Amino acid sequence: MGTKNKHKQLTVGTESNNSGTAESEASNAPFSAHRAFVVQFRKTPADLAGRAEHIASAQATLFSSEQELVDFFRRILRANVAQDKGGRSQ
């Protein structure tokens, strides 16, 4: 229980140090499950590789490069933005 409180204090302290800036407004925004991912990395000699899953939709992909991982994030996040503009309620 002490570790949880310590982490919370560090988080709060970090946020309060940036108050009044545009950066702190973004960092204080609530986290949404619609923009949450789980990423597992494989132990590989050179390249970044593994599996990523979007929490809200359960869409998943295997990736073998940083670019493939970033492309997956972009595809999912762009689809969410398009749905939000279409009037989807959360």
Ordered mean pLDDT values, 10 residues apiece, the chain (90 residues): 43 41 62 91 88 96 96 94 63
Going 32 to 23 to 85 to 83, the CA torsion angle's sign is: negative
Q: Does pTM top 0.85 for this prediction?
A: no
